[in-house]
Structure formats: structure tokens, C-alpha cells
Amino acid sequence: MFGIYFSPTRTFERLKQRPVWLVPLIVVVVANLAVTALAIQYVDWEAQREAAVERMQERGMTEEQIEQATERMSAFYDNPMMKTVFPIVGALVTQVIGILFLTVVFNLGLPLLGASGNFKRSLSVVAYGSLVAVPGAVVRAVLILLRRSAEVSTSLLVAFPNLKQGFLAVVLSRIDVFVVWQFALFGLGLKVAFDTKGNKSYWLVFGVWVLITLVLAALSLLSGNAPR
């Protein structure tokens, strides 16, 4: 399974004959849940509360509305179960939905590359490509422990520490070494597993990456929030 890091072409050639997705999917989910559980231990909840109040003030909310919202936040932050379980469950759901979403999109896009879709094979490509999450989780865990903070990044946001929200913050947060690696593997996987010609598979996967990035960035403008 971990040949995906050292001989990805050979790994995808095997998947072409025998698609396998369950085990890598479990490994990816466990890796992400582990680093999420670690990060929770280093979240500055008071800073989160202050930032939320600041955003509410910028939106023109009344003091009464802010007070009510703050009370709800306090109830959440002061509940160890909610503070721990909610982010972990959220990470689990997001990870699984993300993998399934990419699988559906790539599978639907295969006819554009001159190939016939095969959901199980597409899912195996996405699941194996997502194993990049394992070294990514290790690096993030080390950074969290070294900085003793949940606010760590392996994206271009590192170069802009004061950029916390907005369209540009989202775009920079998506230009992440592990995300780029992951999508490069998706492109290679589709090329090998479906015998696509040239670099069409890379255009497909990175086109999807750009579209997702722009949608998330646009949503950040509507909500006034962005990844921290």
C-alpha cells in the first residue's frame, strides 16, 4: 500500500487490475483524526472567542446579539465532550465526503479524457492518492508539538502569518505541498489506471482543484471567515 510514496506508477498499475480502496481510506481517515485530536489539545479557545466577537462587531451585530452568541460559544467551549468530539466528527465526515466527492467528479470527467468511467477504480485512485495525508499528518503533528499551537500550516500561508481571513488567505491555504502532491498523484493515477493520453488527466484534476479553491475563497467573502 505504501508503495504509493516510492513507486506510484507501479501501484496504480496494480489498481488498474484489482481496485482496492477500503484499507487506504481507513488509514487516511485515522491519520487525519489523530492529528485533529492532537490539535484540539493546543487550540487557544479564548483567542477563538475574541476573534469571533470581533467578526460579529464588524458585521454590525448589536451588543445583545453578541452577548447571546458569546453565551452559546461559552457553553460549547466549556463542554469537554463537545469541544473534543464535535471537531473529530466534523473531520471524519469532511474527509469521507471529500474523497467521495472527488471520486464522483473525476469519474464523471473521464469521458472528457476519452476513457470510460469506473467508480470503483476511480475510488481506488482517490483513496490511494489521499494517502499523502499520512506524511502530512506526521509533519503537522511535529509542528503542533514544536509550536505548542494548533495554528500550523504547510501552505503558502506560512509566508503571511498575519493573513488570517479573506479570499487571498483561502487561496494561499490551498497551495499546500501535500495538497499539490495529492492532486499530482490523482492525475498520475487516472492516467495509469484508465490509459488516458498525454497530460489530460492532470488538466482535469488540477482544474477541479482550482474550481474548489475559487468556490471556497468566494464563500469566505460571503461568510467573512477563512481558514486560520
Spatial distance between the Cα atoms of 33 and 36, rounded to a whole number of angstroms: 5
Q: What is the number of other CB atoms lying within 10 angstroms of the CB of residue 72?
A: 9
Local confidence band at 220 (pLDDT 50, 70, 90 cut-offs) = confident
Local confidence band at 224 (pLDDT 50, 70, 90 cut-offs) = low
Pair 140, 202: CB distance under 8 Å: no
Spatial distance between the Cα atoms of 107 and 127, rounded to a whole number of angstroms: 13
Got the DSSP string for 197-222?
-TTHHHHHHHHHHHHHHHHHHHHHHH
Pair 201, 110: CB distance under 8 Å: no
Residue range 1-26: mean pLDDT, rounded: 92
Q: What percent of the chain has pLDDT over 70?
A: 92
Q: Which residues pair with 176 in a beta bridge?
A: 155
What angle is formed at CA 118 by the lines to CA 114 and CA 120, rounded to 5 degrees?
150
- What was the pLDDT predicted at 228? 36
5 three-class SS? coil
Local confidence band at 61 (pLDDT 50, 70, 90 cut-offs) = confident
Arithmetic mean of pLDDT over the chain: 87
CA distances to 28, 159, 171, 228 from 138, in Å = 12, 21, 23, 20
- What was the pLDDT predicted at 109? 94
Per-residue pLDDT tens digits for 83-128:
677 778 888 899 999 999 999 999 999 999 889 889 999 999 999 9
Residue range 189-197: mean pLDDT, rounded: 93
- What was the pLDDT predicted at 77? 67
Please check the confidence at residue 219 and state whether its pLDDT lies above 90.
Answer: no
Give the type of residue at 101: F
Q: What is the number of other CB atoms lying within 10 angstroms of the CB of residue 114?
A: 12
Residue appearing with cell numbers 503537522: 140
Residue range 178-199: mean pLDDT, rounded: 94
155 three-class SS? strand
Please check the confidence at residue 226 and state whether its pLDDT lies above 50.
Answer: no
Per-residue pLDDT tens digits for 138-158:
999 999 999 988 888 899 988
- What was the pLDDT predicted at 34? 92
Residue range 55-79: mean pLDDT, rounded: 74
